[in-house]
């Protein structure tokens, strides 16, 4: 044992479970601002950048894509170079992305800034999830409970924060709120150093195939909105097909690669992926559509929108806290299914009645609850079934699929809104959280901690 190992092994240098959960939750929490706070600011972004609302959806879509890819990629890279280095690289990307957003004079540069910033958030997300999932079984439930509660606090304040910052300062400041994670980084570096890398080579081919497939899919969904040429659409379709086929071939060729074959064929992992994909799609669709509806049809300002979404975010916080206590039973799965089903039903009703403020707010609120509960339940279930060295990469790939679902939701909402009423688009997309709700019933409970 080296001197450094001996120092790390001393019990007195290890923070308590509550402090660990608080730090990791505060590290992860600002990432949520990139979705819900940014969604509230979307009408102002579209107006200032002089783009159609459907095109402005890329503020959310690009964030979802880069956050998902970043989470998966850095989850793997942390296995090679350690969590501490991952946090530092992610911090640099967060800072660079924030600067680009603040100075961007064109919409394309703004989206580039969002992409870079979200990639940094992906590194932060993967690090927080890896550290939470890799904690000792005896204290993991308490850590996840505090982690979930802290995340819920950010979630519950995100819409109001987005409204306040946009209304009192500027929408650009709202878009860089995820950079608040930088303030917590110094307090997490010592904890991150307890997860050094072990030199495992990163499967860049598998990661590239997965990222290319996700990007091609999202661009194809918004091909008409972005006025893409026919040759480009054909090229994207070919890229998508080649990526999907190539990924399946690569998984069989390299079973321990970016997407490990045991993971890709694991029933629990696949169920969790469908649940998260559907639930995130519903939330991102709502965060694109609902602020637009409230602003254009009802004349609401961004502060009012954020304030009225606040009670629903609090519901999400409460559900997240409750979920952390139910992960060892089927209660966690039932709760997740219930909130996802509620979101689907109320979003569908929006299309049937062509609006309805209360209905929209409830549907969006349940989408936020689905987002929070999915993270808590999925992390608990999968971390109890995976070896410690597998958790970082597995949670990264899972979150990539979650956020690709989110990107599909916002991209599809933007595209459909150009061909039908935006309320009708929201109703059609309610199918996605409905699918997530049904699959959530199949999720098993987390295994007792002594077996993890």
pLDDT band at residue 451 under the 50/70/90 scheme? very low
pLDDT digits (tens, 9 = 90+) for 342-386: 989 988 888 777 657 888 888 888 888 888 888 888 878 887 877
Q: What is the pLDDT of residues 66-114, one digit of tens each?
A: 888 888 888 778 777 888 888 899 999 999 999 999 998 888 899 999 9
pLDDT in tens, 260-294: 888 888 888 899 999 999 998 998 888 888 888 88
pLDDT of residue 219: 80
11-203+254-451 is a CATH 1.20.1250.20 domain: yes
pLDDT confidence of 399, banded at 50, 70, 90? confident
Query: Is residue 439 pLDDT above 70, yes or no?
Result: yes
Residue 9 has pLDDT above 50, yes or no: no
pLDDT of residue 113: 92
Cα 349 → chain centroid:
25
- pLDDT at residue 221, rounded to an integer: 81
User: 125-151: per-residue pLDDT in tens?
Assistant: 888 877 876 666 667 767 777 776 677
pLDDT tens digits, 195-253: 776 666 777 788 888 888 888 888 888 777 777 778 888 888 998 899 889 988 988 88
Mean residue pLDDT of the chain comes to 81
CB 65, CB 117: distance < 8 Å? no
């Amino acid at each position: 044992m080296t001197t450094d190992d001996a120092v790390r092994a001393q019990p007195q240098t290890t923070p308590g479970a509550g402090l660990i959960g608080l730090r990791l939750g505060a590290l992860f929490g600002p990432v949520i601002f990139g979705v819900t706070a940014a969604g509230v600011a979307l009408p102002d972004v579209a107006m200032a950048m002089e783009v159609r609302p459907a095109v402005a959806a890329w503020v959310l879509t690009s964030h979802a894509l880069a956050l998902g890819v970043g989470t998966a990629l850095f989850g793997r890279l942390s296995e090679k170079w350690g969590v501490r280095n991952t946090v530092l690289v992610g911090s640099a990307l967060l800072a660079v992305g924030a600067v680009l957003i603040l100075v961007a004079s064109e919409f394309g540069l703004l989206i580039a800034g969002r992409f870079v910033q979200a990639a940094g958030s992906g590194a932060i997300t993967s690090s927080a999830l890896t550290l939470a999932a890799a904690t000792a079984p005896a204290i993991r439930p308490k850590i996840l409970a505090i982690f979930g509660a802290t995340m819920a606090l950010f979630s519950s304040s995100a819409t109001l924060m987005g409204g306040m910052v946009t209304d009192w300062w500027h929408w650009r400041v709202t878009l860089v709120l995820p950079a608040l994670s930088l303030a917590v980084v110094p307090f997490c570096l010592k904890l991150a150093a307890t997860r050094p890398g072990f030199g495992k080579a990163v499967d860049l081919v598998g990661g590239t195939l997965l990222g290319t497939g996700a990007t091609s899919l999202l661009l194809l969904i918004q091909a008409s909105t972005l006025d893409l040429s026919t040759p480009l659409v054909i090229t994207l379709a070919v890229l998508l097909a080649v990526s999907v086929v190539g990924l399946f071939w690569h998984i069989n060729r390299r079973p321990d690669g970016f997407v490990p074959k045991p993971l890709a064929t694991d029933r629990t992992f696949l169920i969790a992926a469908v649940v998260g994909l559907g639930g995130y799609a519903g939330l991102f669709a709502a965060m694109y559509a609902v602020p637009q509806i409230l602003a254009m049809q009802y004349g609401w300002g961004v502060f009012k929108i954020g304030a009225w979404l606040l009670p629903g975010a609090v519901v999400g916080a409460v559900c997240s806290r409750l979920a952390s206590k139910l992960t060892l039973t089927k209660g966690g799965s039932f709760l997740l299914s219930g909130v996802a089903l509620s979101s689907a039903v109320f979003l569908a009703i929006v299309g049937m009645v062509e609006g309805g403020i209360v209905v929209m707010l409830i549907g969006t609120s349940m989408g936020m609850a689905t987002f929070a509960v999915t993270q808590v339940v999925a992390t608990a279930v999968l971390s109890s079934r995976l070896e410690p060295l597998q958790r970082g990469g597995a949670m990264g790939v899972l979150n990539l699929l979650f956020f690709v679902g989110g990107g599909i939701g916002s991209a599809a909402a933007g595209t459909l809104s150009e061909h039908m009423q935006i309320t009708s688009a929201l109703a059609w997309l309610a199918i996605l959280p409905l699918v997530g709700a049904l699959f959530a019933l199949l999720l098993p409970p987390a295994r007792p901690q002594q077996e993890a």
